[in-house]
Structure 1
Amino acid sequence: MTSPDRPPVVDVVGLHVRFGEVEAVAGVDLQGHAGQATALLGRNGAGKSTTMRVLAGVVPPTAGEVRVAGLDVRRHTLEVKRLVGYCPDVGGLVPRATPWEHLQLSARLRRLDDWEKRGRDLLERFELGDVAHRITAGFSHGMGRRLSVVLASLHEPQVLLLDEPFDGVDPIGVEATFEIIADARSRGACVLISTHLRELAIQACSTVLVMRGGSRVATVDAGDMVGEDGARAYRALLD
């Protein structure tokens, strides 16, 4: 679905992110296209989540160029946040609020009209309908992950960023997340998924960017990582 004549929706060149003396991201290049899903795959500490936070406008880049839909994230942070749907790797939920209240707040902040039917449909798809009016403080980790994906996708964003959406999620939640990714791609959104789970990455995405130690070590077709040969190739990239 990607046209070579169309510029990438997400364009990252030479991204560096430092926290004091620690360099969390060291010169990453990344492109994401309309209608395409790209995985950021690697072990914990590879720099995946920090890269996603930069794209979401949450963490500023230390160096490099980062553009989302042609907008520089440094100079147009608020505009970028409006274009993006972001599921963070941890947190993001209000413990004393219910899923429905989370949806209401998101809709109000984004000035959405006629969102309630889509909100109900998303909760049902992720099997959260029965707990829509229960506070999230008692939710399992997997339930919180599912709700975070719902909130990220509510407004049908141009760029969907899912950071570890499969972590601790049961098969029904995984399948629902796959459906959200497929829906986003079909309407021409750019999807980026951060995960340490190789098999789910290659099911959800057509392109895989392998990260290690804050750097990109390879960008490969997802098909090249299928099966035992793919697993061996992946391990070799991480060694």
Structure 2
Amino acid sequence: MSSRGPVVDVRSLHVRFGEVEAVAGVDLQAEAGQATALLGRNGAGKSTTMRVLAGVVPPTAGSAVVAGYDVRTHALEVKRRVGYCPDVGGLVPRATPWEHLQLSARLRRLAGWEERGRDLLERFELGDVAHRVTTGFSHGMGRRLSVVLAALHEPEVLLLDEPFDGVDPIGVEATFEVINDARARGACVLVSTHLRELAVEACTAVLVLRGGAQVATASAGDMAGEEGARAYRSLLD
């Protein structure tokens, strides 16, 4: 992986759905080995930005380059290089966690993935339900499995959209481990969340979004503690 230039490079990103402007001018540069949080309330444009970076939604205006590939013209190459945990959906109701892993490995032509798959399931306390269909899984269990699937192939860019939503402390700690492991091997990590305290614990940099627009970029330290909480509230008012 090249250390020159940002792995994720977003310039003046705009996304419209009809008359609704979901993203209104986001700029983001994220490096290898760095974890960046997209922080904001529901409807801030976090998930739409993540979908653009995953190659799922094209930009209306502006540019987004992921691992050297323009998401508009090389969406398939982008998808090959990212691991994406979507904010909702993404699971097959009648498939088991192990079958999800098998399908992901087959689609990505992974070899020798089984040991890593078992380790991830155990980390997220899904080992006991590895062969149970996901119908009936709690929201938190589904979130944990989505993180496992995103991390399985050790992607160059790891995109976790609301990975902490409804997740218990053990799942949160396991997600922190996945983020730290990805950073240690030089991956670029982006995490979207509305939970400030978890954002600053998991990440090194924070991008604050409000109403689809970028309102601040700060270090995680600047957004931590009571002073960080006050600063964050002022940005959302």
TM-score interval (norm. to shorter) = over 0.9
Which among 191, 198, 201 is matched to residue 200 of structure 1? 198
Aligned-residue offset at 1:219: 0.3
The SS at the match of 1:112 is coil
Aligned-residue offset at 1:226: 1.4
Alpha-carbon deviations, 1:65-90, whole Å to 9, x = none?
Answer: 11001111111110100000000000
Distance in 2 (CA, whole Å) between partners of 1:138 and 1:156 is: 28
Q: What is residue 92 of structure 1 aligned with on the other side? A: 90
Which among 154, 164, 167 is matched to residue 165 of structure 2? 167
Which among 110, 113, 131 is matched to residue 111 of structure 2? 113
The SS at the match of 1:82 is helix
Alpha-carbon deviations, 1:82-106, whole Å to 9, x = none?
Answer: 0000000000000000000000000
User: How many residues matched?
Assistant: 236
1:217 is aligned to 2:215: yes
1:45 is aligned to 2:43: yes
Aligned-residue offset at 1:127: 0.3
Aligned-residue offset at 1:199: 0.1
The SS at the match of 1:176 is helix
Runs of 4+ in 1 over 2 A off after TM superposition: none
Give identity over the alignment, percent: 85
Which among 180, 187, 190 is matched to residue 189 of structure 1? 187
Alpha-carbon deviations, 1:177-220, whole Å to 9, x = none?
Answer: 00000000000000000000000000000100000010110000
Distance in 2 (CA, whole Å) between partners of 1:118 and 1:229 is: 40
Q: Could you list the runs of 5+ residues in structure 2 that have no partner in the other structure?
A: none
The SS at the match of 2:135 is helix
The SS at the match of 1:162 is strand
The SS at the match of 1:134 is coil
Aligned-residue offset at 1:155: 0.1
Aligned-residue offset at 1:50: 0.1
User: Partner amino acid for 1:89?
Assistant: D
Aligned-residue offset at 1:222: 0.6
Aligned-residue offset at 1:228: 1.0
Q: What is residue 123 of structure 1 aligned with on the other side? A: 121
TM-score of the pair, normalised by structure 2: 0.98
Q: What is residue 229 of structure 1 aligned with on the other side? A: 227
Moved more, 220-229 or 87-96: 220-229
User: Partner amino acid for 1:38?
Assistant: T
Q: What is residue 148 of structure 2 aligned with on the other side? A: 150
User: Partner amino acid for 2:234?
Assistant: A
User: Partner amino acid for 1:132?
Assistant: A
Alpha-carbon deviations, 1:34-63, whole Å to 9, x = none?
Answer: 000000000000000000000000111111
1:141 is aligned to 2:139: yes
Distance in 2 (CA, whole Å) between partners of 1:76 and 1:60 is: 11
Q: Could you list the runs of 5+ residues in structure 1 that have no partner in the other structure?
A: none
Distance in 1 (CA, whole Å) between partners of 2:224 and 2:69 is: 35
Distance in 1 (CA, whole Å) between partners of 2:67 and 2:82 is: 10
TM-score of the pair, normalised by structure 1: 0.98
1:65 is aligned to 2:90: no
